[in-house]
């Protein structure tokens, strides 16, 4: 993929995260400088759709990202987003103030936060109300699947921790080792605190703010 095509795909995902509406070639032409005309942008969007990164929900509408599109965007952010110079959450992590840390993390990001302390065989979580508020719930089954994930994450996170490696990592939809709902994304990883390894994740909608989330986790 050329850098221009990658920039266009990244822009589509970012615009959809920001607004929640399908993104058209005309919108991209008006708000970005790719150095090409709308017709060429449209052609590139067609190619990205054929490659599985985007989908067009309605004929003559703009595009929205698929799971592959979100994964591409997340990989770009993991490379491009710098760690913060200071992060109060790291101090809270080192002080082992788990409930306060999770509450602050959930409030700041507007999603669910979960932590597993393997040494103490304990799991903490906070922010289910933030997750529900920020999800676009289409039907009853979707809501039930999210609730089941919330109830079962206590058992899943400790089991999945060895597969996650050091953070941050991003898991989209079905590729998440700790959730089963196709409507969710997970960001997190394992972090060294003294002689203990702590697993921390946040669970949110696929349209979560990956830039902000990744920046925070890079500072832990």
Cα–Cα distance between 164 and 184 in angstroms, integer? 17
Residue 186: name the closest of 215, 212, 210, 155 by CA: 210
Cα–Cα distance between 202 and 220 in angstroms, integer? 13
What pLDDT digit, counting tens, does each position of 166-188 carry?
879 999 999 999 999 999 999 99
Task: Say if 3-65 and 88-218 have the same CATH topology.
Answer: no
Work out the burial of residue 82: count CB atoms within 10 Å of its CB; fewer than 13 is exposed, 13-18 middle, 19 or more buried: exposed
What are the residue ranges spanned by the domains of the chain?
A: 3-65, 88-218
Q: pLDDT tens for the chain, 220 residues: list them.
A: 899 999 999 999 999 999 999 999 999 999 999 989 999 999 999 999 999 999 998 776 799 999 999 999 999 999 999 888 777 788 888 888 888 999 999 999 999 999 998 888 889 999 999 998 888 877 788 888 888 999 999 999 999 988 888 879 999 999 999 999 999 999 999 998 888 889 999 999 999 999 999 999 998 8
DSSP letter (8 states) at residue 167:
S
What pLDDT digit, counting tens, does each position of 79-115 carry?
999 888 777 788 888 888 888 999 999 999 999 999 9
CATH class of 88-218: alpha beta
Cα–Cα distance between 102 and 92 in angstroms, integer? 10
- Cα 115–119–124 angle (5° rounding)? 25
pLDDT the model gives residue 136: 82
Tell me the fold of 3-65. Arc Repressor Mutant, subunit A (1.10.10)
């Amino acid at each position: 993929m050329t850098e221009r095509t990658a920039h266009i795909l990244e822009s589509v995902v970012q615009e959809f995260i920001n607004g929640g509406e399908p993104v058209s070639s005309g919108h991209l032409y008006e708000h970005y400088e790719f150095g090409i005309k709308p017709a060429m942008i449209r052609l590139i969007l067609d190619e990205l759709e054929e490659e599985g990164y985007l989908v067009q929900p309605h004929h003559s509408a703009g595009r929205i990202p698929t799971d592959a599109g979100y994964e591409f965007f997340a990989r770009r952010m993991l490379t491009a987003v710098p760690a913060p110079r200071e992060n109060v959450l790291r101090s809270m992590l080192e002080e082992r103030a788990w409930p306060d840390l999770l509450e602050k993390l959930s409030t700041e990001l507007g999603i669910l936060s979960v932590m597993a302390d393997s040494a103490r065989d304990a799991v903490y979580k906070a922010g289910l109300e933030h997750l529900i508020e920020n999800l676009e719930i289409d039907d009853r089954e979707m809501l039930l699947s999210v609730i089941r994930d919330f109830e079962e994450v206590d058992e899943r996170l400790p089991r999945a921790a060895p597969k996650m490696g050091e953070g941050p990592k991003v898991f989209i939809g079905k590729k998440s080792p700790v959730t089963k709902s196709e409507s969710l994304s997970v960001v997190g990883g394992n972090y060294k605190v003294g002689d203990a390894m702590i697993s921390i994740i946040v669970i949110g909608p696929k349209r979560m703010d990956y830039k902000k989330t990744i920046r925070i986790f890079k500072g832990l």
